[in-house]
Amino acid sequence: MTISLSIGPQNRKSPFFNSTLQDGLTAASIYNHMYFPTTFGDRPAEYDRLLNGVAMWDVSIERQVAFKGRDAIKLARYLTGRNLDDLQIGQGKYIPLCDYRGRLINDPILLQISKDEIWLSIADSDIKLWVSGIADSLEYQVDVFEPDASPLAVQGPLATPLIADLFGQWIHDLKFFGFREIKLKDIPVILARSGWSKQGGFEIYLLDKNLGENLWAEIKSAGAKYNIGPGAPNYIERLESGLLSFRTDCDKHSNPFEFGLGRFIDLDQNQEFIGKTALQKIKEAGVKRDFIGLRIDGPKFNSPPEDRSSIYSDDKYIGYSSAAAYSPRLKSNIAVGVVDICHAIEGEVVLIDFSDHKRKARVTTLPVFR
């Protein structure tokens, strides 16, 4: 189905919005109350650039929730089950957020900006409301706000030489999720080694929304010799790589253990954090579902399924698939989904109901592509 978006003040434009339109954006979605570019019309070329070259993606929809003040670190430690004992300025961390019942409500990257300032680079849910509500109810001394910061991802094997051309050889020393505040020409940015793909790359957080077109143009022109082109967080590569898409893959009951995020939650630390008791109980009772991969029979998928698809085993409902596509590298249709843990067994044959037709599939562990 194709419809057009109504553009209005209800949703926000990225600082790169005009640049993406000029470069041929053909589809967008909505994420964190912003227009989210999803394709420039040539999905095979976008996939190929990510795997073999370099792609630039407007991911300013990864909004930042900042908190600054005396209690910033204390607040961060209360918000997540990730152990933050060794938090450092300039080193990011992936931190699942849960509510008091242990349900996953977002999976941000935390950036410690200074000794009293933390940013959460969030997925698609209203975390600023959550954080300011908690901070104020506990009378923590922090201001919670959305800073002027908009990430632009540069991803793929040629991202590293391009970013080195732009910023210098020191970028090779950045660890994964490491970052540094710097200027590119006169454009203030944070350069981070990160990005939602397994192909390697960087994110450049623009720190002045009025300079979006300038930053886009700088990357585009320096990237020309590497054949850079526009794209978007890649639907197929993330399925192959098993990266979590929070709003796509999780439902209202999801807990972090179901998505392999238990390794980012330290139940043994002395620190109290939101959801700790609930998560302990969930773990003791035994985790009931698991995030899995699927290999699916039948002709190539051309476009993503619009809805979640129910998965059946011997006519019994066992879970749902949240995204499916044809993987050129595996020469097979693949998907991810969430099923009852007793069916999360490599090789188990299941049936997926894609609303207009059913297909046989086999369960695999993640990532589907190894």
Applying CB under 6 A, which residues contact ligand THG? 59, 62, 94, 107-109, 121-123, 151, 194-196, 203, 243-244
* Nearer Cβ to ligand THG (39/352): 39
Bridge partners (DSSP) of residue 364 are: 293
Q: Which residues, other chains included, contact 314 with Cβ-Cβ below 8 Å and sequence gap of 6+?
A: none
Determine the Cα–Cα distance for residues 81 and 269; give it in Å rounded to an integer.
Answer: 9
* Nearer Cβ to ligand THG (77/93): 93
Q: Are 68 and 142 in contact (CB under 8 A)?
A: yes
Q: Which residue has the tokens 């209005």?
A: 8
Determine the Cα–Cα distance for residues 194 and 54; give it in Å rounded to an integer.
Answer: 14
Task: Please report how close the Cβ of residue 108 comes to ligand THG at its closest, in angstroms.
Answer: 5
* Nearer Cβ to ligand THG (25/122): 122
Task: Please report how close the Cβ of residue 122 comes to ligand THG at its closest, in angstroms.
Answer: 6
* Closest alpha carbon to 47 in 221, 206, 237: 237
* Nearer Cβ to ligand THG (198/358): 198
* Nearer Cβ to ligand THG (58/71): 58
* Nearer Cβ to ligand THG (59/79): 59
Integer distance in angstroms from the first to the last C-alpha of the chain? 33
User: DSSP secondary-structure letter at 268?
Assistant: T
* Nearer Cβ to ligand THG (177/301): 177
* Nearer Cβ to ligand THG (25/261): 261
Task: Give 299-302's long-range contacts (Cβ < 8 A, gap of 24+).
Answer: 300/326, 300/333, 301/325, 301/326, 301/333, 302/326
Determine the Cα–Cα distance for residues 194 and 198; give it in Å rounded to an integer.
Answer: 10
Task: Please report how close the Cβ of residue 203 comes to ligand THG at its closest, in angstroms.
Answer: 5
Residue 90 tokens read as: 């300039």
Determine the Cα–Cα distance for residues 100 and 126; give it in Å rounded to an integer.
Answer: 16
* Closest alpha carbon to 59 in 252, 249, 201, 239: 201
Task: Please report how close the Cβ of residue 351 comes to ligand THG at its closest, in angstroms.
Answer: 29
Task: Please report how close the Cβ of residue 100 comes to ligand THG at its closest, in angstroms.
Answer: 22
Could you tell me the CA-to-CA distances from 238 to 30, 196, 249, 280 in Å, in that order?
19, 8, 12, 30
Bridge partners (DSSP) of residue 51 are: none
Taking phi over 0 as left and psi of -120 to 50 as alpha, with beta for the rest, 238 belongs to alpha
Task: Please report how close the Cβ of residue 191 comes to ligand THG at its closest, in angstroms.
Answer: 12
* Nearer Cβ to ligand THG (81/318): 81
Task: Please report how close the Cβ of residue 59 comes to ligand THG at its closest, in angstroms.
Answer: 6
- Helix, strand, or coil here: 281? helix
Task: Please report how close the Cβ of residue 353 comes to ligand THG at its closest, in angstroms.
Answer: 28
Task: Please report how close the Cβ of residue 225 comes to ligand THG at its closest, in angstroms.
Answer: 26
